[in-house]
A and B are shown apart, each in its own frame.
Chain A
Amino acid sequence: MNFSTLLIRKKPDIEGLAARKDIAGLVKALRYNDVDVQSRIADILGSLGTEATDELVRALKNKDKNTRLGIIEALTQIKDPRAVPALMKTLKDESSEVRWETAIALGEIGEQKAIEPLIYALKDHDKYVRYGAAFALAKIGWKPADDEQKAFYFAGMQEWKAVELIGKSAIPALSHILNDRDSNVRQKVIEILGEIGDPAATPALVRSLGDANSEVRWKAVLSSQRCGIRPIHLPRGLSRRPKMTKNPLIAGVLNFMIPGMGYAYIGKWWGLMIYEVDIATTIWIFKYWGETNTYSTLFPIYLLLAVHAYYIPKKMLEPPI
């Protein structure tokens, strides 16, 4: 992005551009950071019909996310099958919003050859993309070929009851969705695994015992009981969870070298205050008493602070499991 455009961005003259059918200008204007303006432009681009397809598809390579979103929205309205190959590429875009929007567009255009990539998008790690892909597939009139695809489809639709009814063959799909970053989704998946209650879910449940989220861990304990995992193995699975404990040695050394920073490292808000006070005091003692006195007065204090900071993390209670 050009730096000067960032500073002097005027509201684009949309109606003028629309009257001139200036597609390049309209695409450029999509960068203007106002949702109303952007969706108005997408509407206009969409109303231009199939003659705009080629230029819009070319512009899909744009680096700006908002521009890509606007173009895909327009292509959704145009419904030109020629756009499908390009959209199949943006289904692997780095932005999850673009992937979601693409899935919706492919559903609206309704080309059969989009089915393959959409099935792949059902396995996306973002729930919005999965939701969009499932809807698009339904719109195209696709029917799942086997139970695993069916499981991915209903999971994408958020119809958990239907996933549960599939039973054991839904487990691979559910294990895959456990990679979702949203802990609510992970909790839901674990609940369903418990409802299905098949030992095949063991690896997924054992992995979730070490989840970063405490509710996911607890649900994994409850569900594992319904899948026949012997409870005696659970505590060690749980001990794998990421722990946020601070290293006492780092706190101590930091507090000696840069008094106050050790406290800040442990997460005490007043650490930086002590740091400031130390700097001010050092300057004053230095000015009035000279160098030797500064060090001989302050070093013993630093040592005490270091020892104190060393013992705080040692005594900090571990968060509940």
Chain B
Amino acid sequence: MAKPAVILVGADKGGVGKTTVARTLLDYFSAHQMPTRAFDTESPRGTLKRFHPEVTEVVDVTSVPDQMKIFDTLSSSQAWVTVIDVRAGLLSSTLQALSDIGFLDSAKKGQISFSVFHILGPSIASLDEIAETARFVGDASYFLVKNFINNTTFFEWNPETYNSYFKRIKGAIEITIPKLNEMACEQVEVAAVPFVTFVANRTMSGEPANNSFVLRGYVRHWLGHVWAEYDRAKLIDKIMPPVESGQIRQAAG
């Protein structure tokens, strides 16, 4: 059996699209038929759980019982992949906690596959976060995500400065999330379903929905680009050895 994979999705700033990225990951693994569970650390109420209620549990990652719930069950869980959507501002402290409980050591020994999706904001503060996070990452797969979904412009970044930070983490991989049309984005929020469910024009319970064909088309196109980024980054190969791979499917079937 493949070793369990843990993906931490986080940033030290709020509003940079952590949960959006976590949602695309859950859709991606689902499309690859990889059993996945998720933890939403926006306790007591979680945004991720609203979109993926069946696989998501809301936890307080700073509490020991909830840490046990996540990490003591990695081997026994049916899920191959555990995605943790880390609440804004808690990325560094979560990594510190993982270090304290010996999780990072287990990852270093190869007992667990560990990846970090670090969602960058537009400000120079985000670059400082890279330096802060780099202390913990070690041998983990480290993905630096530039999220343009809300038409963010990374205006404060000087490319040379960015590269100097980027290169501090050995093997860091850059991922770009393209912009999604505002109305399409808003309608998926209103529908409160996974992106693939919206594209398939279904409700959460699987009933036919009445979503605009144009908006579904925009979401399908956008999700296709996001997944192409994950394919380019060889995400699945990074987090676990190659699985029996069939044809990679289209978002809308």
Do A and B actually bind?
Answer: no
Residues of A within 8 A of B (CB): none
Residues of B within 8 A of A (CB): none
